[in-house]
Amino acid sequence: MCNDFLVRHFFSKHFDQLGCHPMVVKPLSAEVFGRNICAGDYLHLISSRDNPVKLTTWQGKGLDGSIRIGNYCLLSPGTNIMSAAAIEIGDNCMFAAGSYISDSDWHGLYNRLRPFRCSKPIVLKDNVWIGHGARVGKGVTIGENSVVAAGAVVVKNVPDNVVVGGNPARVIKHLNPERRMLKRERMFQHSDSFHQTQRDLNRYLAGDNSTWGWVRSVLFPTRED
């Protein structure tokens, strides 16, 4: 109940648009800054104080960044998405811990005072999976169902249905487009049952919580908090 309150009255206020049924862990630790930030239905965002999720857009002096996240997407701890141009993320996309997406170099090679002519939009099509610690640079389009392996650095377009890895990233595996693929949206086909399970889990995890316990965790935090 407390977490739902924090999401509705604090976390959601940082979005131009936030779809229905967002599931946010540690919503006050997430850092959402700037205008033109939108997310679709069933956003699943897992943040923490020591590894926050960051969504940042920059405006002014020729910059007009935007971040648009589709339905059923997962953002794991440490996901960092920064835009000075435009970042479009399709449905069912997953971001593993520490993934970094930026549509700008933020400084030119010869003009290091501001991001002049060094920003290009990024597009992630539906069902893209960005692995742990992977990096996606400006101007890149990643095709549907494709996977970016852990630690990869993507600086060129990625076709549909492949796995890329390395620095710079290259195709290391082709996926079978004819094979049935289960996507995150499947978890929400019976959304009432799913959300009841989530509420039961939240109540279980908060079973020992109290007002004094919350005050103590703020003033005198311990490793278990």
Per-residue pLDDT reduced to its tens digit, 94-142: 999 999 999 999 888 888 876 667 899 999 999 999 999 999 999 999 9
Give the three-class secondary structure for 115: coil
The terminus-to-terminus CA distance of the chain in angstroms comes to 18
Q: Which of 9, 21, 44, 107 is catalytic?
A: 107
Q: What is the CATH number of the domain that holds 156?
A: 2.160.10.10
Please say whether the beta carbons of 171 and 149 come within 8 A. no
What's the confidence (pLDDT) of residue 179?
A: 94
Q: Sheet harboring 67-69: ordered strands across?
A: 17-18, 37-39, 67-69, 87-89, 122-124, 141-142
Taking the C-alpha atoms of residue 41 and residue 65, their distance in angstroms, rounded to an integer, is: 22
Q: Domain check: are 140 and 204 in the same one?
A: no
Q: Give the tokens for residue 180.
A: 């049935």
Structural domain span for residue 202: 190-225
Tell me how many domains the chain contains. 2
Are 105 and 207 in the same domain?
no
Q: What global pTM score does this model have?
A: 0.85
116 and 138 share one domain = yes
Q: Is 107 a catalytic residue?
A: yes
Please give the C-alpha separations between residue 37 and each of 13, 56, 205, in angstroms, as whole numbers: 11, 8, 30
Are residues 149 and 71 part of one domain? yes
Long-range contacts for 6-13 (Cβ within 8 Å, ≥24 apart)? none
Burial 187-225 (b: 16+ CB within 10 A, else e): ebeeeeeeeeeeeeeeeeeeeeeeeeeeeeeeeeeeeee
Same domain, residue pair 30 and 79: yes
Same domain, 100 and 202: no
Within this chain, do residues 99 and 175 fall inside the same structural domain, yes or no?
yes
Residues 140 and 215 in one domain: no
**180-205 residue pLDDT tens:** 999 999 888 776 666 666 666 566 55
> 206 and 178 share a domain?
no
Give tens-digit pLDDT for 18-42.
999 899 999 999 999 999 999 999 9
CA-closest candidate to residue 176, choices 146, 150, 154: 146
Clarify whether residues 208 and 158 are in a common domain: no
Is 99 in the same domain as 206? no
Last residue within a domain, chosen from 151, 166, 182: 182
Do 142 and 32 sit in the same domain of this protein?
yes
